[in-house]
Every structure is written in C-alpha cells, then in structure tokens.
Amino acid sequence: MTTNLPHRTERDEALRERAQRVIPKGMYGHQSVARLPEGYPQFFSHGEGSHVWDVDGNEYIDYMCAYGPIVLGHRHPAVERAAAAQQARGDTFTGPTERIVELAEQLVAITPHADWAWFAKNGTDATTYAVTVARVHTGRRVLMRAAGAYHGASPLWMPGPAGPEDGAYQLSYRYNDLESVRAAAAEANGDLAAIIVSPFRHDAGHVQELPTLEFVHGVRDICDATGAVLILDDVRAGFRLDLGGSWAPFGVKPDLAAYSKAIANGYALAGVTGGAQLHDAAGSVFATGSFWFSGVAMAAATATIATMEETDGIGQMERVGTLLREGLAGQARAHGLRVTQSGPVQMPFLSFDSDDLEARDIPRALRFTSEAVKRGVYFHPTHNWFLSAAHTAEDVERTLVMTDAAFAAVRDTFGADA
Amino acid sequence: MTTNLPHRTERDEALRERAQRVIPKGMYGHQSVARLPEGYPQFFSHGEGSHVWDVDGNEYIDYMCAYGPIVLGHRHPAVERAAAAQQARGDTFTGPTERIVELAEQLVAITPHADWAWFAKNGTDATTYAVTVARVHTGRRVLMRAAGAYHGASPLWMPGPAGPEDGAYQLSYRYNDLESVRAAAAEANGDLAAIIVSPFRHDAGHVQELPTLEFVHGVRDICDATGAVLILDDVRAGFRLDLGGSWAPFGVKPDLAAYSKAIANGYALAGVTGGAQLHDAAGSVFATGSFWFSGVAMAAATATIATMEETDGIGQMERVGTLLREGLAGQARAHGLRVTQSGPVQMPFLSFDSDDLEARDIPRALRFTSEAVKRGVYFHPTHNWFLSAAHTAEDVERTLVMTDAAFAAVRDTFGADA
C-alpha cells in the first residue's frame, strides 16, 4: 500500500487564482480552506461512497462528508434513484409535490416528539423558524443559547454590524452547566420564549462534550417549569446518532427540532419537527423560500431515511467509528503522543493534549492533518469529523496506515509527550 | 379545442387531508393555496416546457413558473444535461467544485456592475448578506427600504414576535417617490448604510409600477452623495428583464445586486454580485450554509444563463408576453370589462378596475383566475405572473380561448363596466 504521494496541486492552484479574481477573498464561509494547513484542496471533482477526489485527481477517504450532509456515502444508489425519478418529472413548481406529504409522514412516524414537519433549505432557516415559532407560541421574547454554540450564520445568530439589536433578547448559558441555565432563565424574568440546545457540545475549535443526563433532563424540566419552548438544534448531529432525534435515547422530547445536513444525503434540505402543542404557532408564522417546496431533495430525504433504517446505517457508523477510534488511540500511544478523542464515534474529533486548542495554538493538529490529507485521509484540525454508513473496516485499515505516518511526523517534529 | 373541463380534484383533496395531519395548517409560505379561489391545485405532478400537470392529471399553461424560477421552461434539455453531468460526479462536498468559479466568471462577464459574485440558496440569504456587507463597508447601520416591498422572509425582513428590535435601524421610503427617499436619507442622519430597491414595484396585491428614470438615477445619486450602498434586489426580476441586471438598461450600476429564483431554471441557488469597492467588505463577512457550494445548481445556472443568451430568451418572453397582453386587452374590451395590465410583459399582472385591489376586495379577479385555472390556464389573482422562454404564440392562442370564457363568466356575474 502506497501513501498516495506525490500529492498534486496544479489544477487546484490555478482555480484558486481564478477564484481570487471573481469571488470575495477567493472563497467564503466554512468551505474556504484559508485557515487550513498545506495540502488541503479547495476544489473537489467527484465522490463515490466514502471516497472523494479533488480536481487534481488526488483521492481521499472522506472523514468530513461535506461537513455532515453525506451520511450514506457519496452518490448512494437508492438516493440517486429516488432523486432522479423525481427530477424526471420536475423539481420546482408553483406548489409542492406529493413528496412533501410523504416526507412529513415519514418524519412524524419515526420521531417520538413530532406531530408535524416543515421544510426549508438551510439549517439557519430551520433554527430561525423554530425561534420565531417559539416566540409566537409563548408571546415572549428571550432566547437562551449556549455560549460559543453555532446555530446559524445570519444576523439573528451572529449579531454583527448593526450592533446588539441584531441579537436582541438573547441570553447565554454554559453547555452542561445546569446552574448557568437556571441563572439565565431567572434573568429572563418571565420573558423566556425558548432554550436552544445542541444534542452534544460540538463547537468547532473545542474538545467535544457529551451531555450529562442531569443536563438533558434539567433543561427539559426548566422549560416545563417556565413554559419556555425547548428547541433541539439537530442540524449537525441529526440522523447520525438516532433516527428519532438525537435526544430520543434519553427519552427526552424537545418541543421543536431543527434538521438539515444529513437529512437528504447531500441534497439541499432543512426541516423542523414539532409537537402538537406548537402546531398553531407553527401554522401562523410566515416563512418561505423559492425552493423550499422542491420535490427532488424531498424524494432524496425519504430514500435517505428509509435506507438508514433498513441498513442500520447508524450501527455501521458506530462499528467503523469505534475501529477508527481504537486504531488512532493505539497509534498515538505507540508514538508517545497524548491525544484526546471526543464526541460520538460517528462524529469524532481528535486533538493533541500538548496543543493549546482553546488558544488555537495547534501546531501538532495542523501537522497531523496536513500529513494525513497529503496521504489521502481527509480529517479537519479544528472541526469535528463525520463518518458515513459507506465507511468500511477496510477504509479504516487504509486510514491507519496513513495516520501512522502522520503521527510519526508529529513526533519527529515536536517530540513525544512526557 | 376543449376548455379542459371537467377539472378533477380527488387526488389533490386526498393529499390535502394527509397534509393537514402532518404539516402546519396543511401547507405554509407562498405556495399554500389557502387564500386562492376554488380550482387551484395544491400539489403538482410534473412539468414540461411551458406546461405543468397537477396530481389529478389536469394540465395548465404555466404563467407562474414556480413564482419565478422556471425561466427557460420546465426541464429544459440544456439545463438538465448540465445538471445531470455534475450530479453524476456528485453535488455536495467538503469544498466547492470548479462550477463555482465558472459561474462567478460568467456573471462578472455579463454584469456591468459586477467584479465578483457570491452564492447561497435563498433569495433571503442574498438580500441579508448584501445588507450585512453594506453595513460592514460603511460602518453605518440604517437600511432604507420601500414601504410594502418584499425582500425576504426572515426576522430581519419581517420584524415580528421579538418586537421592533428584529428590524432595528430600518427606515422606509415610497417607491418612485424621490422626495421620500431624500427625507428618509436625511432622517438617517449620517448613519445610512444602504438603500435596497426592487428594479420595479412588484409588491403582491398591488398594481405593478415601472420605475421612473428620475427615480432610478435619483436613488443612485443619493447613495453617491451620502456614501450609502445601493442594493438592487433582483431576486424576482433577475434574468427576465436584462441579463446584465434589471437596471442595466438605464445605465445605472448598483453597488450590490441580489439574485435567486430564475438564476438556475428551478435549481436552488441564490447569488450576490458586487463592485470592486465592496470586495473587502464582502470578503470579511462570515455567512455560510451547508449546501451553498453544491455543484449541480451552479452547473444548471451556467447552462441557464448561457442558453438565455444564445437563444435570446428575454426577447422571446417579450414577444409572447406582448401577444398575451394585447390579446387580454382586446378580450376585456370586447366584454365591456375595464382592466389594468401592469409591469413588464415578461412579468405581467392583470387587475380589474372595478375590484378594490388595495382593500383586497377582488371578486372579479378571484372569479377570473378561478375560471381560468379550471380551464388549464394558471394565473394568480394577487401576485405578478411570470412567463418563460418556452412560452409560445400557440400557448397564448390557447390561453385566450380560455380567458375569453373566464372574462365572460366575470361579466355574467358582475356585469360589464359602465
């Protein structure tokens, strides 16, 4: 087995130069590689299953899965078939297709907390709609969110140039710190509309943190006691931990859940599910978009969810994710490097204990991921990774050959940990 | 030629019942038919060129074009080919594909005001990003917008339950009323970041109004004098009036323009173009979405714009739109009904002078469109219509057979106008 070097970059570089001339800063948003180390391609060519190829023909085992959307693997046949069947009829009309009813019925059937479903295009559309529904339902204004948590990229979620008014009536709490939730709820002083929470702490640039049982039940209890709406932001984790919603295993029902990313295996779709108690408020909020009713992404979603169910996609990710976690742990140990692997194995993250992640002083992580990507293993130095159900034990085996070399490079440069 | 009756509704009704159980109020947003008269289908089955079919098999000549997106006709071969070619490689990756560079280059090449382009999914994403860029560029806060104009469906654009803070720092002016623009700019008192304006007044529920030359140039002059950013909201009209932007025929360059709808003939995409003077601000704003970099919609956009150019799609819409306008005018006259046809012929709107549109007391319009839709002609009673380049003189000829019957029904029920 080779290590996939030399790593070619000519075409990527040429495209970057062209992009610099016609796209702000050459690329924008979370898919800009400006902050990633040497070796990362900016432009991709194609994908198949758990593998992707960049525009120079370099092949990668894909541990980012488009930052989440690809949950069954690239170009999964069942999904592509369902999407193509709808595309042959048309996608975007002056009204929805039958696909919206089928998908809503399917989500309501598999989701313990859901009596209805609603669809849009972006995760931000879903989280924003959920907050508006909660405010309408309660007649209150304050939104509580965890400090540092990402819930979207609009002025509501990232108050910016217009000043604090962009994010008026927001209070923060600390993830897994129930006391801070209680304090913020008290500060809201009867005006608490909603608490939004991620199923686990997956803030980029931090070690991931699973929720404590106390926190999960405590947040639900505080909402019940105050009449606030509990919004689960399942945009990033949805359909990777539990098909019924990421807090279903705890037996805790949110009032509203926001989905996107993996819902349609890469087709653009977002959704909100909610309980009957929110139905009237949900129906009274006007929010819409030109492509929110398009049929192809909905056909893809129905096929994605059905295939995940039929093939135990989550179980497959857990098995392969465990192999990866154990393999990486053993290698790091063998190289004398202390690492922390955090989050569910389906959405893993590895950090080096001798780096200072909080200060973003992470030379080991940058070196490790740079060496890995140049050898055909696509990890991310600061953002959690994603497995898909297409990842296999053989992928992990091949991955570990490359990571062994990447760990060796880290040790050779920075030395073993004491 | 038959009038396409009987109009079947069984399957649509069954789907509406199922939707009532799992979707808030049975449907939401602009594609809910709750406010439309009898005869309108909620669910569509397929489309081809200028024709669409509902789930009961009723065929319509499509004068709404999905509220704008379908500009070359449903399932245009060149667009479907380009999209399928990209889909065969994959759509959504951890980075963009070459398609984003090609599309940005194409837009910059055809758009006089543009030095760069940026992409997202919803029109609301585009207008929101434009405002944020303008605020960052100017370091100011106030956004001026025309009273009653639609620019998006998020809290920024539709301040709602959180109170006025949702829409902080917004002032309104009246479309085509330069004095009101000057007054609002003065009220902004040095804090004016941007004026957003539609290329013509196309507010739903109103007679459409073309901009006066004085208004177009005056708004530009006021931005120049105050240092405010001129944002053209070309989401609804873009690619139907002029491929270089809807104010290009006036020789007036906006600083930023927002696009969506017709940009990719039904594939979900939005965009912002801007001048070099906004490049730094554009590059410094963080806004992103899981599917904003997906390649298929971008391939579709490039093919859509190229085909519009090569086939003079706008000229075709103008020719057929003129036939429709003249035909409807003659029929209304012959039936003794006074109507107003407003807006560009590619985006027409017809209202009855004896209805009170402003008060939404529009029995004639409701009857006319209900009779038309039941005969296979899909108009809208309160929203502007859209033609596509697939509409033919034969479509108009067939349309006029049906509208003759619809006008007759209006006259028989409400009487001729004096």
Strands B349-352 and B339-342: antiparallel
Maximum distance among all Cα pairs of chain A, rounded to whole angstroms: 65
User: Does residue B55 fall inside a structural domain?
Assistant: yes
The radius of gyration of chain B's CA atoms, rounded to the nearest angstrom, is 22
User: Does residue B3 fall inside a structural domain?
Assistant: no
* CA A150 to chain CA mean position, Å: 10
- Give the tokens for residue A383: 């953002």
Whole-angstrom Cα distance, residue A272 to residue A129? Answer: 8
B42 and B17, same domain (yes or no) = yes
The full DSSP string for B188-203 is HTT-EEEEEE-SSB--
B133 and B224, same domain (yes or no) = yes
Q: Check A101 against B141: CB less than 8 A apart.
A: no
User: Does residue A72 fall inside a structural domain?
Assistant: no
User: What residues of B are in contact with residue A18 (Cβ under 8 Å)?
Assistant: 101, 105
The radius of gyration of chain A's CA atoms, rounded to the nearest angstrom, is 22
CA closest to A169 among chain B residues = B162
Sign of the CA dihedral running A30, A32, A36, A41: positive
B86 and B179, same domain (yes or no) = yes
* pLDDT 10s digits, A49-107: 999 999 999 999 999 999 999 999 999 999 999 999 999 999 999 999 999 999 999 99
Instruction: Quickly state the pLDDT bin for A279 (edges 50, 70, 90).
Output: very high
* pLDDT 10s digits, A289-312: 999 999 999 999 999 999 999 999
A241 and A105, same domain (yes or no) = yes
Whole-angstrom Cα distance, residue B235 to residue B239? Answer: 9
Average pLDDT over residues B21-36: 97
* Nearest chain B CA: its distance from A312 CA (Å): 23
How much is the pLDDT for B1?
Answer: 39
- Give the tokens for residue B179: 């004095």
Average pLDDT over residues B226-236: 98
A303 and A317, same domain (yes or no) = no
How much is the pLDDT for B163?
Answer: 65
> Which CATH number does the domain housing residue A162 bear?
3.40.640.10
Q: Check A101 against B18: CB less than 8 A apart.
A: yes
* Nearest chain A CA: its distance from B215 CA (Å): 27
The residue among A251, A277, A310 that closes a domain is A310
Report the interhelical angle of A295-310 vs A77-87 (nearest 10°): 150
User: Does residue B5 fall inside a structural domain?
Assistant: no
Residue B168: is its pLDDT beyond 90?
no
Q: What is the pTM of this model?
A: 0.98
- Indicate the average pLDDT of chain A: 96
Q: Check A141 against B161: CB less than 8 A apart.
A: yes
Per the structure, the count of domains in chain A is 2
Whole-angstrom Cα distance, residue B279 to residue B240? Answer: 26
- Residues sharing a CB contact under 8 Å with residue A414, sequence separation 6 or more, in sequence order: A354, A363, A364, A367
Closest CB to A122: pick one of B46, B160, B290. B290
- Give the tokens for residue A118: 């609603």
How much is the pLDDT for A164?
Answer: 64
Instruction: Quickly state the pLDDT bin for A418 (edges 50, 70, 90).
Output: confident
Average pLDDT over residues B15-36: 97
How much is the pLDDT for B2?
Answer: 46
The residue among B277, B310, B343 that closes a domain is B310
Whole-angstrom Cα distance, residue B126 to residue B261? Answer: 11
Interface mutation target, options A64, A80, A92, A140, chain B, most CBs of B under 10 Å:
A92
User: Which region among A220-229, B160-169, B215-224, B256-265 has the lowest average model confidence (pLDDT)?
Assistant: B160-169
User: What residues of B are in contact with residue A162 (Cβ under 8 Å)?
Assistant: 135, 141, 168-169
* Nearest chain B CA: its distance from A330 CA (Å): 28
Whole-angstrom Cα distance, residue A391 to residue A108? Answer: 28
User: Does residue A4 fall inside a structural domain?
Assistant: no
How much is the pLDDT for A4?
Answer: 55
How much is the pLDDT for A5?
Answer: 67
Interface mutation target, options B103, B122, B290, chain A, most CBs of A under 10 Å:
B290
Whole-angstrom Cα distance, residue A203 to residue A383? Answer: 8
Whole-angstrom Cα distance, residue A28 to residue B289? Answer: 10
- Give the tokens for residue B36: 């439309």
* Nearest chain A CA: its distance from B418 CA (Å): 36
- Residues sharing a CB contact under 8 Å with residue B203, sequence separation 6 or more, in sequence order: B148, B149, B150
* Nearest chain B CA: its distance from A40 CA (Å): 10
- Give the tokens for residue A100: 């919206």
B272 and B327, same domain (yes or no) = no
B317 and B306, same domain (yes or no) = no
How much is the pLDDT for A315?
Answer: 98
Q: Check B156 against A158: CB less than 8 A apart.
A: no
Closest CB to B25: pick one of A92, A135, A283. A283
* 3-class SS letters over A348-417: CEEEECCCECCCCECHHHHHHHHHHHHCCEECCCCCCCCCCCCCCHHHHHHHHHHHHHHHHHHHHHHCCC
- Residues sharing a CB contact under 8 Å with residue A58, sequence separation 6 or more, in sequence order: A4, A7, A8, A41, A376
How much is the pLDDT for A166?
Answer: 72
User: Which region among A339-343, B151-155, B186-190, B199-203 has the lowest average model confidence (pLDDT)?
Assistant: B151-155
**Residues above pLDDT 70, as percent of chain A:** 98
* pLDDT 10s digits, B394-415: 999 999 999 999 999 999 999 9
User: What residues of B are in contact with residue A261 (Cβ under 8 Å)?
Assistant: 290
User: Which region among A108-117, A165-174, B342-351 has the lowest average model confidence (pLDDT)?
Assistant: A165-174
User: What residues of A are in contact with residue B54 (Cβ under 8 Å)?
Assistant: 95
CB B54, CB B60: distance < 8 Å: yes
CB B52, CB B390: distance < 8 Å: no
Residue A234 CB burial class (10 angstroms; 0-12, 13-18, ≥19): buried
* CA B67 to chain CA mean position, Å: 6
Residue A331: is its pLDDT beyond 60?
yes
**Residues above pLDDT 90, as percent of chain A:** 95
Within an 8 Å CB–CB cutoff, is residue A373 touching chain B? no
User: Does residue A5 fall inside a structural domain?
Assistant: no
* pLDDT 10s digits, A5-56: 678 999 999 999 999 999 999 999 999 999 999 999 999 999 999 999 999 9
Residue B149 CB burial class (10 angstroms; 0-12, 13-18, ≥19): middle
A321 and A306, same domain (yes or no) = no
CB B163, CB B191: distance < 8 Å: no
CB A255, CB A122: distance < 8 Å: no
Within an 8 Å CB–CB cutoff, is residue A277 touching chain B? no
- Indicate the average pLDDT of chain B: 96
- Residues sharing a CB contact under 8 Å with residue B333, sequence separation 6 or more, in sequence order: none
Across the beta sheet with A44-48, the strand order is A44-48, A51-54, A59-62, A377-378
User: What residues of A are in contact with residue B44 (Cβ under 8 Å)?
Assistant: 90, 93-97
A275 and A337, same domain (yes or no) = no
Instruction: Quickly state the pLDDT bin for A1 (edges 50, 70, 90).
Output: very low
Q: Which of B13, B153, B52, B259 is nearest to A92 (CA)?
A: B52
**A345: how many CB neighbours lie within 10 A of its CB?**
17
Residue A191 CB burial class (10 angstroms; 0-12, 13-18, ≥19): middle
User: What residues of B are in contact with residue A68 (Cβ under 8 Å)?
Assistant: 290
User: What residues of A are in contact with residue B287 (Cβ under 8 Å)?
Assistant: 28-29, 153-154
User: Does residue B400 fall inside a structural domain?
Assistant: yes
Beta bridge partners of A146: A173
* Nearest chain B CA: its distance from A381 CA (Å): 14
- Residues sharing a CB contact under 8 Å with residue A122, sequence separation 6 or more, in sequence order: A152, A260, A270, B120, B121, B122, B125, B289, B290, B291
User: Does residue B2 fall inside a structural domain?
Assistant: no
Beta bridge partners of A342: A349
Q: Which of B278, B269, B399 is nearest to B328 (CA)?
A: B399
How much is the pLDDT for A39?
Answer: 95
* pLDDT 10s digits, A192-219: 999 999 999 999 999 999 999 999 999 9
> Which CATH number does the domain housing residue B363 bear?
3.90.1150.10
How much is the pLDDT for B166?
Answer: 72
DSSP code at position B293: T
SS3 A55: coil
Give the angle B277-B283-B289 at the CA atoms, nearest 5°: 135
Q: Check B292 against A29: CB less than 8 A apart.
A: yes
B297 and B347, same domain (yes or no) = no
- Residues sharing a CB contact under 8 Å with residue A70, sequence separation 6 or more, in sequence order: A47, A62, A262, A265, A266, A386, A388, B92
CA closest to B16 among chain A residues = A101
Beta bridge partners of B270: B120
The residue among A293, A310, A327 that closes a domain is A310
Instruction: Quickly state the pLDDT bin for B418 (edges 50, 70, 90).
Output: confident
Q: Is the ipTM of this complex over 0.85?
A: yes
Instruction: Quickly state the pLDDT bin for A114 (edges 50, 70, 90).
Output: very high
Q: Which residues of A377-415 are buried (b: 16+ CB within 10 A; e: fewer)?
A: bbbbbbbbbbbbbbbbeebbebbbebbbbbbebbbeebe
Average pLDDT over residues B108-122: 98
Q: Which of residues 397-416 of A touch B (CB under 8 A)?
A: none
Q: Which run of H or E residues covers position A317?
A: helix A313-334
User: What residues of A are in contact with residue B95 (Cβ under 8 Å)?
Assistant: 31, 33, 41-44, 54
Whole-angstrom Cα distance, residue B52 to residue B75? Answer: 11
CB A55, CB B98: distance < 8 Å: yes
Residue A2: is its pLDDT beyond 60?
no
A234 and A104, same domain (yes or no) = yes
Q: Which of residues 73-132 of A touch B (CB under 8 A)?
A: 74-75, 80, 83, 87, 89-98, 100-101, 104-105, 107-108, 115-118, 121-125, 128, 132
Within an 8 Å CB–CB cutoff, is residue B279 touching chain A? yes
- Give the tokens for residue B12: 């649509």
For residue B56, what are the domain limits? 10-67+312-414
Within an 8 Å CB–CB cutoff, is residue B382 touching chain A? no
A320 and A269, same domain (yes or no) = no
Q: Check A165 against B165: CB less than 8 A apart.
A: yes
